[in-house]
Structure 1
């Protein structure tokens, strides 16, 4: 029975550290590819195709992006809203500063690394408790 417990703990340690490190690397690459998002104040306007937000970028150009159903639910009836636009791109915006995908990958990586650390601690406790 002790050998089975040791094997399971060892597997959790390697999977936790290995997959956690891999996902942490993927999260870093996704963060770097996400680019720079700057806060801007946007005007919410109704159009014939639904509501859109319009804002001025850093170069003085006017940008416009349609709102999705989820974004409409968050914004509500506001006439103006603080959004984030992608630096160097036109008509790209989101409501959060950081990417939800990068955040999800980072949290998963942290959880797997924590699993590896806990399994390593359990392994040491089992090693020294038997001796």
Structure 2
């Protein structure tokens, strides 16, 4: 029974640390690929193809992007809103400062590393209890 418990704890430790580090690397790559997003003030208007958000870019030009019904509801249906525009790209915006994919990968990696830490502490406790 002791060797089975030791094997399970060690598997959880290696899996937690290994997969956690791998997914943390994926989160870093996703973060770097996501680019820089800057906060801008946008005007929400009804256009011919639906609801649009329009804002001034860093180069002084006017950019616009369509808003989904969900985004428009999340912004509270206001006329002036704060959104995040992608630096260096035209007509790209989102309502959150960070990417949901990056946030999910980061949380998953932290959870797996947490499993590895708990398994490592459990292994130490078992080592001292038996010794």
TM-score scaled to structure 1, two decimals?
0.97
Match of 1:96 in 2: 96
Q: Secondary structure at the match of 2:58?
A: coil
- After TM superposition, give the deviation of residue 76 of structure 1 in Å: 2.7
- After TM superposition, give the deviation of residue 122 of structure 1 in Å: 0.2
Match of 1:121 in 2: 121
Match of 1:79 in 2: 79
Match of 1:26 in 2: 26
Moved more, 21-30 or 67-76: 67-76
Long gaps (5+) in structure 2: none
Deviation string for 1:57-98 (max 9, x for gaps)? Answer: 000011110011220120132001000000000000001111
Long gaps (5+) in structure 1: none
- After TM superposition, give the deviation of residue 48 of structure 1 in Å: 2.6
- After TM superposition, give the deviation of residue 116 of structure 1 in Å: 0.2
For the pair 1:3 / 2:3, whether they are aligned, the reply is: yes
TM-score scaled to structure 2, two decimals?
0.97
Q: Secondary structure at the match of 1:51?
A: strand
Query: Over aligned residue pairs, what C-alpha RMSD do you find?
Result: 0.8
Q: How many residues align?
A: 131
For the pair 1:64 / 2:68, whether they are aligned, the reply is: no
